[in-house]
A and B are shown apart, each in its own frame.
Chain A
Amino acid sequence: MQVTSPVRPPLVTGGKTVSDVTQDISRHVENKPTKLWIMAFTLSVITLCYGSYCLWTTWYKGIGMWGLNKTIGWAWDITNFVWWVGIGHAGTLISAILLLFRQKWRTSINRAAEAMTIFAVICAASFIVAHMGRPWLAYWALPLPNAFGSLWVNFNSPLVWDVFAISTYFTVSLVFWYIGLVPDFATIRERATGVRRVAYGALSLGWDGSAKAWQRYEAVSLVLAGCSTPLVLSVHTIVSMDFATSVIPGWHATIFPPYFVAGAIFSGFAMVLTLMLITRVVFRLEDYITVEHMESMNKVIVLTGSIVGIAYLSEFFIAWYSHVPYESYTFINRAFGDDYWWAYWSMMTCNVISPQLFWFRTVRRSIAWTFLLSIVVNIGMWFERFVIIATSLSRDFIPSSWAYFSPTLYDIGDYLFTFGLFFTLFLLFAKFFPVVNMAEVKAIIKSSSAKKDTK
């Protein structure tokens, strides 16, 4: 274990001891759910039920329940898909890249961030299936041996790359997350009795806390971090290729891979902040998730937000510089057209202008501001995907086919479904799983006696 310089301020405040960590984190797993939790959970489940009804109707009657048309074949569905995938990225970045960079401050937030990743990817995947005209045949997108006359997938198609990218991403993230949970499950198992002891016992896979186990744990974490790191870059690169490899002006852009990755991290960090700021209050984890965490993450947001901003401007420059009429028109229309200017300027305001406030230290360290802006950023990132997907399609090459998209109740309902699903899963996670990685946090507690020193 690495020793943190005594000069640096402690990452966990409140002079917590190792025992405090166990107490603080295990407490909410072991106690009865709080009123606040029950309220939140009920709300999530209601949203999920309503969303499920909408999703079911969409499946039963057809994609026509949405507002799509002959010109705009993707709108909210793929916007939501990309949005959720993008959100997922922060978890992987925090747990993998920051692990490799030995950023110790990540330990308090990586567990929840990874959980967020997994749930976000599930939500994203639900749109992959839901957007299909015949979702019951979704497995045809997998290269499975079959009896349909040896039909194979089309490896040229970015959608097939997506299938690989997302499934790999999901698998690696899930394994990484679960491995990290094993020592903490063991901790809870040791404290539990009865059914809970059996359950957590099963979940902890017979963890015995031996030095050998810890050594393997460390090694596996590193290997998985190594696996995950390229995924942080590759997944959204591949998602961006859904658009970049097409011929549609506004989609067909070489800038997309880095631009999408930056955007993904941008939105992911914002989502992590939103969730963590709630969690720390609800579970009284202010000492573990501190203002320092928030500030570090806000710095990442201002950086990625600026990258995204530059990307927006570059697209405009290229549209002008290329002299391709269709491309030029798409961008002029995107910003100044009668149909969708509001989407574009929502995106610009939320993604480019608002994060610049984080240059001010007071804003960066203000919980209220951070919470507000984290939500603003996610709204902006949703609009970014909508602007790219729907407005580009709405006016492409042939003016006779130009059309306008307006969402139906089912577009909204199916989006709500993923919110319901996400928060239901997240709340279940927060209740039954340790939300902070106890084992790793303990490693950054200065010493077991530090509590006394700070007094």
Chain B
Amino acid sequence: MKDNNKKYWKGIEELSNDPEFLKHAHNEFPEFLSVKEKGSSEASDAPDRRDFLKLLGFSVAAVSLAACEAPVKKVIPYVNKPVDVDPGIANWYASTYQEGGEYCSILVKTREGRPIKIEGNKLSPITMGGTSARVQASVLSLYDTERLEFFVENGKQIKVKSIAEYAPLDRKIIDKLAAAQASGKSIRIVSQTILSPTTKKAIEEFKAKYPATEHVMYDVLSAEGILKANEISLGQRIIPSYNFGAADVIVSFGADFLGTWISPIEYAKQYSKTRKLSAHKKTMSKHYQIESNLSLTGCNADTRLPIKPSEEGLYVAALYNALGFGGLSTKAPNHEVIKKAATDLLKAKGKSLVVSGSNDPYVQLLVNKINSELGNYGKTIDVSTPSFQKQGSDEAILKFIEDAKSGQVGAVIFYGANPVYDHPKGEELKEALKKISLKISFNDRMDETSSEVDYVCPDLHFLESWNDAEPKKGFFSLTQPTITPIFKGNRAAQESLLIWSGNKTDYYTYLENNWKSRLTGGNFQELWDKTLHDGLYSGKTSELHVTPGHSETEAYAAISDTASVGAFHTGGSSTPNVNLSEVEDNINRTYKTNSGIELSLYYKVGLGSGSLSAGNNPWLHELPDPVSKATWDNYLAIPKKMANEMDIAQGDVVALTVDGKNTGIEVPVLIQPGQANNTASLALGYGRTKAGKCGNEVGKNAYPLIKVKGGRLDLNAGVVTFAKTGDERKIAQTQTHHTVMARPIIQDASLAEYQKDAGAGRYKPMIHTNLYGEKKPTEITTWYEHEKPNHLWGMSIDLNSCIGCGACVVACQSENNVPVVGRKEVLNRREMHWIRIDRYYSSDAETDKTGEYFESESGVKDLEIAAENPTVTFQPMLCQQCNHAPCESVCPVAATTHSSEGLNQMTYNRCIGTRYCANNCPYKVRRFNWFKYFENEEFDKNVSMNNFLGRMVLNPDVTVRSRGVMEKCSFCVQRIQEGKLKAKMEKRRPIDGEIVTACASACPTDAIIFGDRNDTESRLHKDNVVENAERSYAVLEELNVQPNILYLTKIRNS
């Protein structure tokens, strides 16, 4: 082998024999460790071996610590930022909530293009910024995964890339419609009340194309009785406008006008005005409620009389008789309450209001007569501005079902209606549908009705759609989309109708064109933009349209005009007696006292009819019923007396037999104080089978129990008997103790006492000290005060205004990403709501003594028993933001601390979950994350955190809490911060009312005032320090925790 002369070198240094290189050439590693060898003479800053070990140790520790960090989630910015979207800044759009005739003018908050929160629109003269739980929750329905993504043909979804691809399907439908038209059979569009004039116009267009079409409108919460009575007595099938705000005396026969009757947000707003008190207004309305089951309205009444449903007509007659107007000889019960009501009504002629929830036109006629005799028309009742929120006809839908059964219907289109579920003849309809050759539904899911049809062409959610609404004559508001349709395969129902009628205009253009004729007196574009911006057409502004010369006299005239048809006449040739006798005949015939137990059906304040998307809304299912505080179920409410007699305990499942017929319904029993004796009540809107994951199999469907009587729906289902099945089903209540135990947590007084002394009912604890005598609790402290130099956020809650509706609870849930925990966890008493409404029944055992339990003569246990017909008090309870917070001092890791603005802050990141703070909270408002509620299949009903679509509703400004940490009301600190920053950018102080918490803003009665106590000009300061200083009290004042929330005493006009 030849000598190899090749020379290998490791680097230029070796090749060139660099002296620096040679010095270390013998070392294995050419790179030198930055470690000083022991005894090395090099005097350098290089660390020695010990330091190296220290560094090594540190880096190992640092790396392992870093490994424990939560994974980094990247936020991906827009490549091209849309003009209107600034990340982190909300866009607000005015819109309108309308579903089944329910109406609310709203503002929609969108973040990065997602609608996440709904607020009331203060510009609306009808709802005036109020909302309801259902309106608040409707944003969650937008992200319901049960919504259909595509059109469905014979049960199969037809996937498309764009809506235009449905053209062949449309042609098929058009052909079939034409065939139906040609067959001589009728075509029906079945919907609930439609408020939108443009939608109606589109329907008209459809009717023009297919003349066999009939539009059947019905109301699940039927108001047939009033409509019919007004048709008879006024000649117009209308619901008049009521103004509870102008009434000094209100008598309601079973009308739950604060909860479910016609337009509760509007009425609550009006009603609360008459209930508010201040140094300048020391009078309030007097409210009588005569009803069988304890409704939300009944809870708020000053005097409540429980009656059997079969006596309702008699009691109305009794009132008429007691008023002394004469002409009615019905033998009516003679009750003290009725006499008192009559006396009060007579004193308040023209300033009173009598309403009835009855669906019996003759009862309503008598109510009309009473109101007209009292001179309320034109004062508290306005016929000239009718409400369009109930336009449905019980007869029409019944006729449709009969026609369908007899095979006279060739095609049917269900639009926002689910009669298979929500009509008492739903089962019959389901069978009859088989005889109809073309069945179409616009519903957003495969619900009970949609699953029986040939084509489902899912409508857009209202937050995705254009529309308008006319809830009252002459009052218009607009719905505008706040997000592009989430599902490409959805199309506005109106557009479908237009296409099928041969009109290719898209619905937006159609709407705009329709408005072109209405918006006159200026540049259309400007007016249109303004109307869209405001969300409503401000052509009319007054809440109740009473114009001179168009009120009393006309209303009376209207009644007189109907002389020939109706039941009563106030003028003209005929005599009232004759017509009264017709009422009398009918009432005498219909209302007979019987000895059996009568079942009355009712709607839940939260869930409503439950027949459309609300039925699958977990926020509404978990919202405690304002009265019973039950969630996730319906139940048979019976009075305690009956339960004792029948040996039934709460939770016992009973099988219902109505009018001798076995209904197949088995529900648990709930013992309900205030439920009239020998009556029972059961909520409608439950027992869905095809609503979706959250709504299916929740409770039992009571719709089949609605009585169909004389062409109208009657919620008085008849005589019920029930027997224990032996099963037990616990009812998930958020409150299981119902009385206040004579504790000064609720401080109340009668109006008379209040008028004498504004501080009546106040409990003013004094602490005895040896050195200084009696001292107020706030004067003794061992704590240093926290400085609040800038703001001191606080709240005033008026117990007199709060009607307990629960809008605040859902608003808070929506704003603060509060998880839904489901029935099982509510049973475990672990609901997460940051604000709750405590409901207390009075007890017969209560005395004036505040909690002298050892001296209590009647015994402590008697205090626990609610009265048979209790007075009810609602108390919203949320974190009191104590200035001497007991929670703060006990947290070992300082995770809950006090801010310099009076806020009790919760730092989720720091919390280790000892729950000591919750234990030490006297108000029990802290909520613990017992489990991981997000991305956890066990909590699949918590849809806002457990599916990709639901997560879109989360408020990005509020952390989703991890398991094991404590949470609680933050006074919407994110809103405070936003408001402060906005003011700072504009170099000014925040203006009072600019920063509002979600609960305060949702409240339809303005019971909650949020503000800055340091601002002496604020409404809060004025309320607590000036106007209602004597009424303001801190709950548990004696503990000296110094809450930032003050309550105003409850004053009862009794």
Contacts and interface: CB of A to CB of B under 8 A. Distances in A.
Given A62-B963, A247-B1041, A328-B853, A151 B894 contact: yes
Given A132-B912, A133-B965, A325 B850 contact: yes
A133 B927 contact: no
A62 B892 contact: no
Contacts of B106: none
A398 B924 contact: yes
Nearest to B831: A70
Contacts of B735: 400-401
Contact of A332 (B745, B854, B891, B930): B854
Given A70-B831, A140-B910, A158-B890, A134 B737 contact: no
Interface string B860-879: 11000000000000010100
A64 B840 contact: no
A73 B891 CA distance: 14
B928 A133 contact: yes
Chain B: interface size category: 35 or more
A313 to B, nearest CB: 15
Nearest to B907: A151
Contacts of A158: 890
Nearest to A336: B860
A148 B811 CA distance: 34
A399 interface: yes
A401 B65 CA distance: 41
B840 A133 contact: no
Interface in A30-88: 61-64, 67-71, 73-74
B965 A329 contact: no
Interface stretch (B121-129, B336-344, B550-558, B914-922): B914-922
B957 interface: no
Nearest to B920: A246
B838 interface: yes
A29 interface: no
Contacts of A329: 741, 851, 853, 860
Contacts of A242: 916
A114 interface: no
A46 B853 CA distance: 49
Interface string A149-165: 00111101111100100
A247 B887 CA distance: 10
Contact of A246 (B828, B890, B931): B890
A399 B889 contact: no
A455 interface: no
Nearest to A137: B912
B648 interface: no
Contact of B893 (A140, A319, A404): A140
A333 interface: yes
Contact of B894 (A68, A153, A247, A326): A153
Contacts of A133: 911-915, 928-929, 963-966
Contact of B737 (A61, A132, A141, A400): A400
Contacts of B850: 325
Contacts, number: 184
B907 to A, nearest CB: 9
A244 to B, nearest CB: 12
A141 B912 contact: yes
B739 interface: yes
B14 interface: no
A250 to B, nearest CB: 11
A386 to B, nearest CB: 14
B736 A73 contact: no
Contacts of A203: none
A179 interface: no
B923 interface: yes
Contacts of B932: 61-62
B920 A248 contact: yes
A71 B930 contact: no
A371 interface: no
A342 interface: no
A293 to B, nearest CB: 40
A242 B911 CA distance: 18
Contact of A74 (B851, B860, B891, B915): B915
B890 A403 contact: no
Given A160-B892, A328-B854, A138 B912 contact: yes
Contacts of B916: 73-74, 157, 159, 242
A131 interface: yes
A62 B922 CA distance: 25
A399 B740 contact: yes
B892 A141 contact: yes
Interface residues of A, number: 58
Interface string B919-948: 110111011111110000000000000000
Chain B at the A interface: SS class: loop
A153 B892 contact: yes
A341 B259 CA distance: 41
B839 interface: yes
A223 B397 CA distance: 94
B910 A70 contact: no
Given A62-B964, A138-B912, A400-B877, A152 B737 contact: no
Given A133-B963, A400-B840, A325 B893 contact: no
Nearest to A406: B828
B781 to A, nearest CB: 13
Interface in B742-756: 742-743, 745
A140 B912 contact: yes
A134 B890 contact: no
B741 A153 contact: no
Contact of B922 (A70, A159, A395, A397): A397
B851 A326 contact: yes
A214 interface: no
A345 interface: no
Interface in A280-337: 319-320, 323, 325-326, 328-329, 332-333, 336
A403 B829 contact: yes
B485 interface: no
A333 B911 contact: no
A332 B864 CA distance: 14
A338 B853 CA distance: 16
Contact of B890 (A64, A132, A157): A157
Contact of A71 (B739, B829, B894, B913): B829
B824 to A, nearest CB: 10
A402 interface: yes
A393 interface: yes
Contact of A159 (B838, B853, B914, B923): B914
B923 A398 contact: yes
B812 to A, nearest CB: 16
A36 B920 CA distance: 47
A194 B203 CA distance: 100
B158 interface: no
Contacts of B431: none
A242 B889 CA distance: 11
B483 interface: no
Nearest to A160: B892
B821 to A, nearest CB: 9
B892 A159 contact: yes
Interface in B882-899: 886, 889-894
5 contacts: A71-B829, A152-B894, A319-B854, A325-B851, A332-B854
Given A74-B915, A132-B912, A247-B1041, 16 more contacts: A68-B928, A70-B829, A73-B915, A73-B916, A132-B914, A140-B910, A157-B891, A326-B743, A332-B853, A396-B924, A397-B743, A397-B923, A397-B1036, A398-B838, A399-B738, A400-B877
Interface of B: 65, 735-743, 745, 825, 828-831, 836, 838-840, 850-854, 860-861, 875, 877, 886, 889-894, 910-916, 918-920, 922-924, 926-932, 962-966, 1035-1036, 1039, 1041
Interface of A: 61-64, 67-71, 73-74, 131-135, 137-138, 140-141, 147, 151-154, 156-160, 163, 242, 245-248, 319-320, 323, 325-326, 328-329, 332-333, 336, 338, 393, 395-404
